Chain A
Amino acid sequence: MPLLDGRIVMPPLPEGRVLPVITAPADVLSTACVEVDPAAPDVVQLAADLIVTQRVSPGCVGLAANQVGIGWRVFSLDVTHHPKARTTHGEYVLVNARIESSSRNEKSREGCMSVPDFTGDVKRASRIVVRGFLPVTGEEVVLEADAFEARALQHELDHLDGFVFLDRVAGAHAVYPRQTYL
């Protein structure tokens, strides 16, 4: 396992480019992404692009490939400095990731860069195990996440399955206009 002090050790990536984030409604956001070869140069470049795009987007802790218009099963995540995070595995990209197991449901309010007008209450597992592969090397990663990292992982994996949080809202009165913050 490529882990150091609990953080995923990412292989060196090429220079990333900031990509525009697609907003709903868009077919690419409601279509399941396809598995890809983690070592393919295009996939490696996408990994770098996701990380850079995530870094420059205020408040963004994760990004799925279809949010930048590419229907591949790849996402980036970094919850390191989030106040609700308990486990934090650093800044990473996983390819072809799937949830192995999940337990304990909690409801919390989510927003999404691809759904800028709304927020919504979504119930998600607060403990999950995710198996995926690193770009470049294709090394397998199995990570146990809880609290906010678990929520963020499920949100990104939902994107890769073609779902946004609006598909999961907890009720007819559980969706809200997004407030503008000063």
Chain B
Amino acid sequence: MTHSLAVTVLGHDRPGIIADVTGVLAGLGGNLEDSSMTLLRGHFAWTLVVAVAADASVVSDRLAHLMAEGLVVSVLPLPDDDATAPEGSAWLLSVHGADRPGIVSGLTRLVAEAGGTITDLTTRLGTGIYLLVAEVSLPRETDVEALSARIAAAAEGLGVRATLTPAESDVL
């Protein structure tokens, strides 16, 4: 019986981290499912879900050599209940402006209050500019115009520009 584990790997980037981690998981008969990796201010940051028979502690032990070199590795069991994709309409929230506290919390709170969920998120701090791009799934009955207006008003209060645009895909 396999179960799902969430593995996170964070730290100083070097060539071969992904090959090393997946090599360990493959050696345990694990199947790498979804994962997302990026560099966060230059730090390697990877979150992945693996289906594997081995216990979290076993996986953790096999990854110990990575921790020894300074990477932060966590291995945690995920609940068995089937995660479902959100149902609703797809939107893209993009925000940019001068950095200040409260941009992400202020704007994502409005999405949450509308019953929306964020399905993908990137935030970046540049030189003097802060950027947020979020994939948002809104319930079908959402008054998007009203939500857009609330977001625009909040953005104005934060001194940033926020736009909510449709991100529906076309089946071809």
Kindly state the interface size class of chain B when it binds its partner. 20 to 34
Q: Given A179-B86, A179-B90, A110–B169 Cβ distance below 8 Å?
A: yes
Flag the segment in A55-63, A125-133, A135-143 that touches B.
A55-63
A108 to chain B: closest residue by CB: B170
Q: Which residues of B contact A176 (CB under 8 A)?
A: 119-120, 135, 169
Q: Which residues of A contact B171 (CB under 8 A)?
A: 59-61, 110-113
Over the window 141-182 of chain A, the binary record of Cβ atoms lying under 8 Å from chain B Cβ atoms (1 yes, 0 no) is: 000000010011001100000000100000001001111111
Q: Which of B89, B120, B167, B171 has the most CB of A within 10 A?
A: B171
Distance in angstroms between the alpha carbons of A176 and B85 in the assembled complex: 11
Q: Which residues of B contact A181 (CB under 8 A)?
A: 87-89
Q: Check if A109 sits within 8 Å of B88, measured CB to CB.
A: no
Tell yes or no: A84 within 8 A of B by CB.
Answer: yes
Q: Which of B85, B89, B169, B172 has the most CB of A within 10 A?
A: B172
Q: A110-B170, A111-B171, A181-B88 are in contact. List 20 more A-B contacts (CB 8 A).
A: A61-B170, A62-B172, A82-B170, A109-B168, A109-B169, A109-B170, A110-B172, A111-B170, A112-B171, A155-B172, A165-B172, A173-B38, A176-B120, A177-B85, A178-B169, A179-B85, A179-B119, A179-B137, A180-B85, A182-B140
Interchain residue pairs with CB less than 8 A apart (24) = A59-B170, A61-B170, A61-B171, A61-B172, A82-B170, A84-B170, A108-B170, A109-B170, A110-B172, A111-B169, A111-B172, A112-B171, A113-B171, A152-B170, A155-B172, A173-B120, A173-B122, A176-B169, A179-B90, A179-B119, A179-B137, A181-B88, A182-B88, A182-B140
Q: Which residues of A contact B (CB under 8 A)?
A: 59-62, 82, 84, 108-113, 119, 148, 151-152, 155-156, 165, 173, 176-182
